[in-house]
């Protein structure tokens, strides 16, 4: 007995729309089982995980802080994935954006007194992320290298580079030998939105503006059309006169720039300085955000909030229920698994094939004569 996936002649539009919600419900059910197996009360654990973070104003601010980079990176990745370019290295582009943006306050601390400091840093951060994303883009366009591997491997290069910087040349001499760079001051700090009630900063506004702009780009402009055509059918894209290489660079540079902007926003806002680790895996979680949001920038805003909740809920559950913080990763993994499984089952159905049947099915190879 073996399983086969058979393509459905038509896929249900209704279930396509419901898929993220079904996936979320399945994740919650699987989470309940997970907590029960750990010997915790599923009801209390799930309440701590998904409801408690929403009950006070302070943690809504934290939600915005976590959602901002997820949305910003997620909408960029959506453009990549729609054009069939698999940028898995947003985490590295996030780090490099933070490093390049931080050059200004660290190397020229005096410039932090200028009101232009922040816009210049943000621009440098975006350029840094884009430049780092240009590496896998170039390798793919020029040598047909698999971008999944190259962009993923470059994540570790970026992380180790940051680690070296903050332990070596950029270490703050006044930091009692802690591996961290000097704290940003003055105009180099990302302003807070409503300082009275919490520490959310204007990063969430960048995320919302980027989501709206990319939604317009993808649904209303020729560039968005070009990206979708190349993603769906490269041969038809060439017939239309669209450049596949152009789409590789466009999508990688755009998603790299947004990841870099998220990176510099994170260090100049929520963290306030460079340190060995500046991300709890935003660049990877944003892949889940992109798919949970159905690669639609507006859907990604909602998905970003859900994923942000898994981070916050993990912290609460750790404190109140006493589960490991690894449960956050487990939840995120479950969510991605269920989203992809739902999407697969919308397009395919499972067929049980009895094993006694010899493998006599004709090979499916097509000869393009």
Partner 1 sequence: MGIELAGGPAKEPGLLLDVRGLTKVFGSLIACNHVDLQIAKGEIHALLGENGAGKSTLVKMLFGTLAPNAGEILWNGKQVRIGSPGEARRLGIGMVFQHFSLFEALTAAENIALSLDSTTPISAIAAKAKELSQSYGLPLDPGSLVGDLSVGERQRIEIIRCLLQEPDLIILDEPTSVLTPQEADKLFETLERLRGEGKSILYISHRLEEVQRICDRATVLRHGKVVAHCNPRQETAGSLARMMVGGDVHEVHREHPDHVEGAPLIEIRNLSQAPKGPFSMPLKDISLTVRAGEVVGIAGVAGNGQGEFFDAVSGEAVQADPATVRIRSIDAGTLGITGRRLLGAGFVPEERLGHGAVPGMKLSDNMLLARHRSDAKAFLGGGALGFIRRDAIEATTKRVVEEMDVRKSAEDPEASALSGGNLQKFIIGRELDRKPSVLVVNQPTWGVDAGAAARIRQALIDLTRSGSAVIVISQDLDELFEIADRIAVMAHGEMSQTIPIQGATREKIGLLMGGADTGAH
Interface positions with partner 1 (CB under 8 A): 9-10, 220-223, 225, 228-229, 232-233, 235-236, 238-241, 354, 356-369
d(CA 334, CA 31): 8
Q: Name beta bridge partners: 4.
A: 351
**Is the CB of 21 or the CB of 239 nearer to partner 1?**
239
Cβ atoms 76, 255 nearer than 8 A: yes
Shortest Å, Cβ 235 to partner 1 = 5
With CA atoms as reference, report the closest residue to 121 among 181, 173, 190, 54.
Answer: 190
Shortest Å, Cβ 245 to partner 1 = 12
**Is the CB of 39 or the CB of 354 nearer to partner 1?**
354
Cβ atoms 131, 96 nearer than 8 A: yes
Shortest Å, Cβ 78 to partner 1 = 17
Q: Name beta bridge partners: 348.
A: 7
Shortest Å, Cβ 182 to partner 1 = 42
**Is the CB of 215 or the CB of 311 nearer to partner 1?**
215
Shortest Å, Cβ 213 to partner 1 = 11
Torsion of CA 190, 193, 194, 195, to 10 degrees: 0
**Is the CB of 173 or the CB of 357 nearer to partner 1?**
357
Shortest Å, Cβ 222 to partner 1 = 4
Shortest Å, Cβ 332 to partner 1 = 29
Cβ atoms 286, 266 nearer than 8 A: no
Q: Is the dihedral of CA 177, 181, 186, 192 positive or negative?
A: negative
Alpha helices in 108-202 (DSSP H): 117-143, 147-167
Q: Which residues, 6+ apart, have CB-to-CB distance to 341 below 8 Å?
A: 23
**Is the CB of 146 or the CB of 221 nearer to partner 1?**
221
**Is the CB of 110 or the CB of 358 nearer to partner 1?**
358
Q: How far is CA 95 from the centre of its chain?
A: 13
Kindly report the backbone phi and psi dihedral angles of residue 10, in degrees, each rounded to the nearest multiple of 5, phi listed first: -135, 145
**Is the CB of 127 or the CB of 217 nearer to partner 1?**
217
With CA atoms as reference, report the closest residue to 68 among 362, 355, 308.
Answer: 308
């Amino acid at each position: 007995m073996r399983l086969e996936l058979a393509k459905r002649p038509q896929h249900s539009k209704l279930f396509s729309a419901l898929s993220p919600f079904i996936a979320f419900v399945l994740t919650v059910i699987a989470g309940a089982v997970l907590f029960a197996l750990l010997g915790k009360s599923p009801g209390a654990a799930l309440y701590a995980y998904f409801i408690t973070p929403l009950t006070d104003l302070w943690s809504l601010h934290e939600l915005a802080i976590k959602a901002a980079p997820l949305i910003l990176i997620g909408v960029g990745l959506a453009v990549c994935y729609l054009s069939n370019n698999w940028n898995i290295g947003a985490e590295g582009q996030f780090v490099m954006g933070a490093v390049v943006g931080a050059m200004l306050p660290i190397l020229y601390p005096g410039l932090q007194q200028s009101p232009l400091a922040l816009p210049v840093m943000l621009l440098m951060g975006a350029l840094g992320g884009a430049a780092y994303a240009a590496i896998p883009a170039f390798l793919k366009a020029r040598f047909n290298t698999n971008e999944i591997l190259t962009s993923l491997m470059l994540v570790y290069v970026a992380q180790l580079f940051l680690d070296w910087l903050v332990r070596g040349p950029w270490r703050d001499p006044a930091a009692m030998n802690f591996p961290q760079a000097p704290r940003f001051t003055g105009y180099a700090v990302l302003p807070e939105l409503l300082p009275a009630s919490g520490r959310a900063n204007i990063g969430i506004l960048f995320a919302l503006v980027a989501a709206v702009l990319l939604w317009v780009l993808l649904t209303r402009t020729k560039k968005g059309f070009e990206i979708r055509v190349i993603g769906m059918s490269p041969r038809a894209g060439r017939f239309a006169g669209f450049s596949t290489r152009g789409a590789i660079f466009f999508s990688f540079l755009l998603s790299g720039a947004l990841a870099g902007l998220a990176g510099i926003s994170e260090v100049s806002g929520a963290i306030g300085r460079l340190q060995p680790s500046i991300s709890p895996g935003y660049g990877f979680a944003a892949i889940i955000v992109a798919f949970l949001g159905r690669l639609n920038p507006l859907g990604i805003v909602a998905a970003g909030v859900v994923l942000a909740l898994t981070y916050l809920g993990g912290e609460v559950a750790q404190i109140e229920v006493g589960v490991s913080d690894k449960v956050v990763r487990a939840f995120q993994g479950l969510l991605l698994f269920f989203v992809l499984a739902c999407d697969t089952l919308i397009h395919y159905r499972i067929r049980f094939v009895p094993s006694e049947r010899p493998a006599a099915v004709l090979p499916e190879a097509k000869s393009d004569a």
